[in-house]
Amino acid sequence: MFWELVAVFVFLFTYALIVDERIHRAVAAMIGAAIVIFLHIVPWDSLLVYLDFGTIFLLMGMMIIVNTARTSGLFEYIAIRTAKMAKGSPIRVLILFSLVTALASAFLDNVTTVLLLTPMLLTIARLMKLNPLPYLIAEIFASNVGGAATLIGDPPNIMIASAAGLTFNEFLMVMAPIALIDLGIIILMMFLIYGKSMKVEPHERDVMKKAMEGLDENAAIQDRSLFKKSIVTILLVVVMFFFHSLLGLEPAEVALIGAAIILFWSREPPEMILEKIEWPALFFFGGLFIVVGALVETGVISQIAGAMVGLVSTTGEAMILVVWFSAIASALVDNIPLTAAMIPLIKDLGTSMEIYPLWWALAVGACLGGNGTAIGASANVVVLGISEREGIRISFLDFMKLGMAVMAITVAVGLGILWIMFIL
């Protein structure tokens, strides 16, 4: 009992440090991991059991591919082409940027996507003399919904797939329809709320169209050879993700193969690319896995799972509980530690019920719950931070009013689709 209490205390202490944000979350996770290792709650021999290398190497491989491709100007090129396709219509800009953000987030991580697209979105809004607020909010919602669509789109999905052995195609079959419908709902909501302010007179649209035509997407390409190699490598990696089961490869192996190909082919200095890997994020994951491992080692997770089983009697009831608990919790705290804590819990529930639907319930709750508040997902914090530096302030409460409504509707839709797929 003593060690169980210690493991819970260390977990809550680590969580508090992460939420508090006065020290970097990677350091917080490493402190928690150091404590449980020092106290031998997690034996040294068990470290490899709890460190999820499937998650860590997948993230590392994708970071290398994106960091190499971004130096070519590929993402700026896509943003300018998107703006031109809008033909001076503010509403089309909203729809097209939401689609591009969601699509990019499905294959890149959300933070990378918004880091690449937000500055360009602000530039386009400035050139078209538009209020950037609805576009920035739509970008946040679209990135979180798009990230939910694929195995590699959002860290919670990567962690869930690695723990449950789910394939890239399974994620596409289950999560992509949910993300697509939810994206349509979000665009409709944004149109209903901000549509009037986006209406412009024909002569104003002509001025906006000329401003967009003045942009040169080809000038954004900084290295044409690398630009082509990046496109080929990214397409190859996406195709390999589709067929990774047939090839006998894990998603992490596909990402590392893609990273090796683009590094070799591009001849970019590896020191420069590897320096840009978000090492703090990887150490954050590693530390967190060990802290949660302490809860597993001491039996805390099994006891919580036992209590949950007492609350529900069917997989359908458990699915509802997991979806809403993870969604509300993800709106309030980071969805990565939440997912790390929920994974062993769901595994333990497998002793008394069918848990396959519960993995999808966790993915829906953890990914879509991030839209609830300004701190619900890393992408939210990044976009709002960039906006504030540009003098566009979106308060926590203003974001939450809209975010909670979007979260409630999109999660309810996701739960409904899961119910039709697995319960009816």
Residue 126 contacts residue 214 (beta carbons within 8 Å):
no
Q: Give the C-alpha separation, 363 to 366, whole Å.
A: 5
pLDDT of residue 381: 74
In the structure encoding, which two tokens stand for residue 255, read together?
């990402």
In the structure encoding, which two tokens stand for residue 340, read together?
């790390």
Q: What are phi and psi of 52, to 5 degrees?
A: -85, 90
Q: Give the C-alpha separation, 103 to 212, whole Å.
A: 22
pLDDT in tens, 15-58: 888 777 788 878 988 999 999 999 988 888 888 878 878 778 88
pLDDT of residue 49: 78
The region that residue 40 occupies, defined by phi over 0 for left and psi between -120 and 50 for alpha, beta otherwise, is: left
pLDDT in tens, 320-359: 989 998 898 888 666 777 788 788 888 887 777 888 999 9
Residue 345 contacts residue 353 (beta carbons within 8 Å):
no
Nearest in space to 230 (alpha carbons), one of 258, 271, 252, 249: 258
pLDDT of residue 285: 80
Q: Is 51 helix (H, G, I), strand (E, B) or coil?
A: coil
At position 337, the amino acid (one-letter code) is P
pLDDT in tens, 229-269: 999 998 898 888 888 778 888 888 988 999 999 999 988 88
Nearest in space to 77 (alpha carbons), one of 226, 251, 219, 202: 219
In the structure encoding, which two tokens stand for residue 237, read together?
């990696």
pLDDT of residue 388: 77
Q: Give the C-alpha separation, 117 to 192, whole Å.
A: 24
Nearest in space to 368 (alpha carbons), one of 174, 175, 218: 175
Give the residues of the chain that fall short of pLDDT 50: none
Share of the chain above pLDDT 90, in %: 27
Cβ-proximal residues to 298 (8 Å cutoff; 6+ apart), any chain: 3, 4, 6, 7, 41
pLDDT of residue 146: 93
Residues across the chain: 424
Q: Give the C-alpha separation, 277 to 289, whole Å.
A: 20
Residue 277 is given by DSSP the state S
pLDDT of residue 256: 93
